Amino acid sequence: MIKSPYQSLEDRFRRMDAVSGAMSMLHWDMSAMMPSGGASSRAEQLATLSSVHHSMITDPEISDLLDGAEADLHLNNWQQANVREMRRAWIHQAAIDADLVEALSRACSASETVWRTARPDNDFKAALPGLEEVLNLSRQVAEAKSEKLGVGLYDALLDQYEPDGRSCDIDVIFDDLATFLPDFLDDVLSQQAAGADRLPLQGPFPADTQRELGKTFMTALGFNFDHGRLDESAHPFCGGTYDDVRITTRYDEADFSSAMMGVLHETGHAMYDQGLPKEWRGQPVGSDRGMSIHESQSLLIEMQACRSPEFLDYAGPKMREAFTGAGTAWQTENLLRRTTHVEKGFIRVDADEVTYPAHVILRYQLEKAAIVGDLKMCDLPGAWNEGLNNILGITPPTDREGCLQDIHWYDGAWGYFPTYTLGAMTAAQLFAKAKHDKPEILGCIAKGDFSPLMSWLGEHVHSKGCLLNTRDLLKEATGEELNADHFKTHLKTRYLGS
Amino acid sequence: MIKSPYQSLEDRFRRMDAVSGAMSMLHWDMSAMMPSGGASSRAEQLATLSSVHHSMITDPEISDLLDGAEADLHLNNWQQANVREMRRAWIHQAAIDADLVEALSRACSASETVWRTARPDNDFKAALPGLEEVLNLSRQVAEAKSEKLGVGLYDALLDQYEPDGRSCDIDVIFDDLATFLPDFLDDVLSQQAAGADRLPLQGPFPADTQRELGKTFMTALGFNFDHGRLDESAHPFCGGTYDDVRITTRYDEADFSSAMMGVLHETGHAMYDQGLPKEWRGQPVGSDRGMSIHESQSLLIEMQACRSPEFLDYAGPKMREAFTGAGTAWQTENLLRRTTHVEKGFIRVDADEVTYPAHVILRYQLEKAAIVGDLKMCDLPGAWNEGLNNILGITPPTDREGCLQDIHWYDGAWGYFPTYTLGAMTAAQLFAKAKHDKPEILGCIAKGDFSPLMSWLGEHVHSKGCLLNTRDLLKEATGEELNADHFKTHLKTRYLGS
């Protein structure tokens, strides 16, 4: 029996998904298991699989098959969405030739390697040539994709992480936030200064106990350990595949909160992956809907749900018991004060949810300028310091605490940064609607029961895969387009009690 | 610059090696890390990578490149050997078409799955249809390869595991052993019965302590933890790649000896992999020389070196200390009695080194008959029981303890079994020559110093990769062709003291 173009595409994309899944597992292993001496053969494995994947999707027959499938009138809406996502993936891969892919991949590896020592050494000059080369090649990618996608240079890169994401939309929302934040932050800081001090929690906090506690919370959230694991790595992440989700964290025996909040954050990501539509496994339409939605799921769990007094009513006693803590420092009020403390700082990954958007907006503005050629990398340290001062009123004393802190640009992830804050706003918007639809959500969380929240997310987000684009997904789930209002309301309620 | 055919082949085989390495890592993960729910997507990943590998090596250009490289007069001896091994790999893969590869792969998966419950259920009938299908397809593979290799059907399968291995050679050596064993075994058993009893060691033996002790011995043997790991799996094995060797074991808290001997055995394999020639990484000539040599390295460590009084002089006190053991049971004499106990049994993997060859010879005879069509699978249980009775004088009470015990045939590994005993004899022959060349070997082992032994093995075996074929490798290392004499001498010395 002859296969239809659509069926042939399903077969081919299933094979590509298997190759991607293999790569994802090898990445996890590299971070969580691999001994240092395995690095060079692992790099060879990943480079080879990456080129295998690229040649699969750029196979000359794919183009005709896509045309054929798009003309097929018998496809249902999931299948149509599947073809739409296949076309998107094809455009992104076929826009750039194998030589550019490989040149960029090598430049990123080389640049990232230099950055790993340049950062602790506070040596921006050492990292500059690699960064320039990565930016130069990323701009070539942007040009090639810009033409195929019919969008501007920056949006062509943004689209890789945030399908259909456009900077003109982001500008509106980020401007709104940037206007709101400075005065609001002043208010929060003065109210915080007038309130009670954060009391320290007495350690040490053994890693094994932290791990067990993390697993307890993962189980409460609904993480399915038949389809995933919790391990350790230097930088926490959520990897693996939808059927085998590998999350990691890092334990600090002097402070359990970073590992715990990390586990909650990654579990938010993991629940999305585990909840993707089972009948569309291996197909583009069965995968997650880009980075802002993915980040919204982790931030909804970590920030919206688990820095709440309700979560601490449930989790606080478990933490006390696990670490045999006692005294007022372990009461919900102090625990809440600790998890919602606000402070201006230089480092994005250490930032609280109030100041975090400022870090993102700074990077977004700088990378937009760099991609269109308005910012040279040799001028980056000055632009960074000036920008942070404008938005937060502080200036990093060193590049290590400034433009050397994040791996993204040095590793080729240009256009990624806005998804963090888009995710935070999406999380606030989704959580507000979920609580509206199911008023029992917070009360249940106070008893360790996440099922009302998770079933709402499962129905409105996880099970949709890529059936809808991001805009429609959010509109169907919340009745509104993405906007900053819910995020601002959330911040005002939590930090000013108004 | 235009590449020579040889250079093009090196590039292509390096890519294939990267794909194989990726598969090897995914296999390790499947056994040591993967949650059960990851099975189906892992199967998809492995099947896809396997077909990618098959299409790389059967690419139509490979044949011309091989012809070109074989005609190249400027290759050095390593490069020539590399071409020889490329040709061998190509013959094995190109002999069978993709449909047969896939049919066999699916039949093996299905049959193995049934076998996993048929064995505990003692239900040979349930496993029979799958076994027949696997045998049928394996015979088709044998026919296709037999023609290309110019050897008989059985040898065509044997050649997959034991390059250039031929049953006419094995027959001579196995007949020699089969003649020797029955009387020898009687002598051993009566001498053992007349001697002191084995005293039991008092447990429990915590898994963590076993793991640390295993790592102590691995370190003593020279295992490089920058290029490998020790983990747990249901069935111990040595996997990963030469730069990142993953060995596993299984801990029984009532008896530490099986995990410990397992770690020593797998470390023998691992030292071979870690010692392969670094300058030939990723090339066929840089890989191990087939299963009999690989098994010789594990058995040399486990059986020859580490069931010796010298090893126990070193290891016994470490074991006592780790498990806070005391009394005569922990003295070297009793520990030696425990590690060299001989007993007729039904199960191959539980057999001692004296009775083990009997299990292998039985399987070798049966599988030879099955492949040429002289033994039908419905007659397997009767033939098995009769054969075991002939060679060991015992009859399995059930198929679970008979023809259902090993996964090999159900999973398509026809022609594999003889390599175990070829490995045992090779180990004895190599160890005898090593001790002859370096008389200090055993004395050093008694002090926990394996370096004289490992440097001899490194020089004569590990660093050779596939430069020589098995016969020449053994002749260069020991001055003799493979024979059973050293193995028999070893058994007589150890078990009869003569």
**Beta-carbon count within 10 A of B193 CB:** 8
CB spacing of A228 vs B35 below 8 angstroms = yes
Strand pairing class (B238-241; B244-249): antiparallel
pLDDT at B58: 95
Strand-pair category, B238-241 with B228-232: unpaired
CB-nearest partner of A52 from B26, B52, B224: B52
Query: CB distance from A103 to chain B under 8 Å?
Result: no
Share of chain B above pLDDT 90, in %: 95
> Cβ neighbours of residue B62 under 8 Å, at least 6 residues apart?
B9, B12, B90, B94
B70 touches chain A (CB under 8 A): no
Closest to A229 (Cβ–Cβ): which among B33, B45, B225? B33
Per the CB < 8 A criterion, the answer to whether B386 and B369 are in contact is: no
Domain borders along chain B are 5-161, 162-498
Chain A interface disruption, residue of B34, B52, B223, B233, most A CBs within 10 A: B52
| pLDDT surpassing 80 at residue B344 | yes
Query: Residue A203 pLDDT more than 80?
Result: yes
CB pairs under 8 A between A and B: 110
Nearest C-alpha neighbor of B241 from the set B418, B440, B22, B406: B22
| Other CB atoms within 10 A of residue A11 CB | 12
Q: What is the pLDDT of residue A240?
A: 97
Whether A459 shows a pLDDT value over 90: the answer reads yes
Candidates B301, B297, B290, B406; CA nearest to B346 is B406
Cis upstream peptide for A204 (omega within 30°): yes
pLDDT of residue A109: 85
**pLDDT score, position B76:** 98
Answer whether B42 touches A (CB < 8 Å). yes
Among partner residues A35, A40, A227, which is closest to B229 by beta-carbon distance?
A: A35
Phi, psi of A248 (to 5 degrees): -135, 160
Give A145→chain B minimum CA distance, Å: 28
Quote the minimal CA–CA distance from B358 to chain A in Å.
40
Residues 215-234 of A with CB under 8 A from B: 224-229
* B49 CB within 8 Å of a chain A CB: yes
The reply to whether residue A18 touches residue B281, judged by beta carbons under 8 angstroms, is no
Q: Place A105 in a pLDDT band, splitting at 50, 70 and 90.
A: confident
CB contact under 8 A, A33 and B33: yes
Q: Verify whether residue A481 is a known catalytic residue.
A: no
Which residues of chain A are within 8 Å of residue B282 when distances are taken between CB atoms? Answer: 41, 44
Please count the other Cβ atoms lying within 10 Å of the Cβ belonging to residue B362.
Answer: 23
3-state secondary structure at position A245: strand
Using alpha carbons only, give the angle A13, A18, A19 rounded to the nearest 5 degrees: 95
Q: In chain A, which residue's Cα lies nearest the Cα of B281?
A: A41
Higher pLDDT, B146 or B106: B146
Contact B37 A281 (CB under 8 A): no
CB within 8 Å of A194: residues ≥ 6 apart: none
**Chain A residues inside the 8 Å CB shell of B44:** 14, 18, 21, 282
Instruction: Write the DSSP symbol of residue A246.
Output: E
Contact criterion met (CB below 8 Å) for B34 and A32: no
- pLDDT category of residue B109 using cuts at 50, 70 and 90: confident
A47: nearest CA partner in chain B: B18
Question: What pLDDT, on a 0 to 100 scale, did the predictor assign at position A106?
Answer: 84
Amino acid at residue number B22: A
Read out DSSP for A53-65? HHHHHT-HHHHHH
B278, pLDDT greater than 80: yes
Task: Tell if the CB–CB gap between B35 and A241 is shorter than 8 Å.
Answer: no
Q: Which CATH class is domain A112-498?
A: mainly alpha
Reply yes or no on whether the pLDDT at B1 is more than 80.
no
User: Chain B window 378-437: which residues touch A at a Cβ cutoff of 8 Å?
Assistant: none
- In B130-167, which positions are buried (b, 16+ CB within 10 angstroms) versus exposed (e)? bbbbbbebbbebbebbbeebebbbbbbbbbbbbbbbeb
Q: How many angstroms from the chain centroid is the CA of residue B470?
A: 15
Q: Is-contact A314 A336, C-beta < 8 A?
A: no
- Answer whether B33 touches A (CB < 8 Å): yes
Backbone angles phi, psi at B231, to 5 degrees: -135, -170
Helix (H, G, I), strand (E, B) or coil at B35: coil
pLDDT digits (tens, 9 = 90+) for B127-141: 999 999 999 999 999
Instruction: Assign A70 a pLDDT band (cuts: 50, 70, 90).
Output: very high
Determine, for residues B29 and A34 on separate chains, whether the beta-carbon distance falls below 8 Å: no
Which residue in chain B has the smallest CA separation from A25?
B26
How confident is the model at residue A495, as a pLDDT?
A: 97
**Which residues of chain A make contact with B49, given a CB cutoff of 8 A?**
18-19, 22, 49
Q: Using one digit for the tens of pLDDT, what is the confidence trace for A160-190? A: 999 999 999 999 999 999 999 999 999 999 9
CATH of B5-161, one of 2.40.128, 1.10.1330, 1.20.58, 1.10.3470: 1.20.58
Contact A227 B49 (CB under 8 A): no
Chain A residues with CB-CB distance to B241 below 8 A: 38, 41
Neighbour-count burial of B327, counting CB atoms closer than 10 A to its CB (0-12 exposed, 13-18 middle, 19+ buried): exposed
- How far does Cα B4 stand from its chain's mean position? 37
- pLDDT score, position A102: 84
> Residue B41: its chain A contacts at CB < 8 A?
18, 21, 241-244, 281-282
Cβ contact (<8 Å) for A19 and B52? yes
Window from A35-49, A60-74, A303-317 with minimum mean pLDDT: A35-49
For residues A372 and B136, give the distance between their C-alpha atoms in angstroms, rounded to a whole number: 64
Chain A residues in contact with B18 by the CB 8 A cut-off are: 41, 44-45, 47-49
B47·A243 Cβ contact <8 A: no
What fold, for B162-498?
A: Neurolysin; domain 3 (1.10.1370)
pLDDT of residue A1: 72
Tell me what the mean pLDDT of segment B142-154 comes to.
96
DSSP codes joined into one string, A94-154: HTS-HHHHHHHHHHHHHHHHHHHHHHHHT-HHHHHHHHHHHHHHHHHHHHHHHHHHTS-HH
- Structure confidence at residue B69 (pLDDT): 98
- Using an 8 Å CB-CB cutoff, list chain B residues near A225: 35
Residue B234 has a pLDDT of 86
Both tokens of A360, joined, read 């993102």
Nearest chain B residue (CA) to A231: B33
**CA dist., res. A268 & res. A265, Å (int):** 5
Contact flag B244-A44 (C-beta cutoff 8 Å): no
A181-190 residues labelled b (16+ CB within 10 A) or e (exposed) = beebbeebbe
Q: Which two tokens stand for residue B77?
A: 């001896």
pLDDT digits (tens, 9 = 90+) for B363-381: 999 999 999 999 999 999 9
Q: Does A52 touch chain B (CB under 8 A)?
A: yes
Q: Is the pLDDT of residue B497 over 80?
A: yes
- Supply the DSSP symbol for A484: S
CA A120 centroid distance within chain:
24
> Which whole number is the average pLDDT over A17-34?
96
**Whole-number percent of chain A with pLDDT over 70:** 100
| Backbone φ and ψ of A44, nearest 5° | -65, -45
* CA-based nearest residue in chain A for residue B32: A33
What's the mean pLDDT when you consider all of chain B? 96
Q: Touching check for A27 and chain B: CB below 8 Å?
A: no
What residues of chain B, 271 to 300, have a C-beta less than 8 Å from chain A? 281-282
CA atoms of B110 and B410, how far apart (whole Å):
9
How does the average pLDDT of chain A come out, rounded? 96
Q: Which of B15, B25, B227 sits opposite A37 (nearest CB)?
A: B227
Q: Give the Cα separation of A30 and A387 in Å (integer).
A: 36
Instruction: Please give the Cα distance from A169 to A176 (Å, whole number).
Output: 11
Percent of chain A at pLDDT > 90 equals 95
A162 in Cβ contact with A473 (< 8 Å): no
3-state secondary structure of A426: helix
B255 strand-pairing partners: B252
Interface test with B, best of A224, A243, A276 (most B CBs within 10 A): A243
Contact status of A241 with chain B (Cβ, < 8 Å) = yes
Render A258-325 in DSSP notation, one character per residue.
Answer: HHHHHHHHHHHHHHHHHHS-GGGTTSGGGS--HHHHHHHHHHIIIIIITTSHHHHHHHHHHHHHHTT-
| Helices A309-322 and A207-221, axial angle in degrees (round to 10) | 140
- What's the whole-number mean pLDDT along residues B293-310? 98
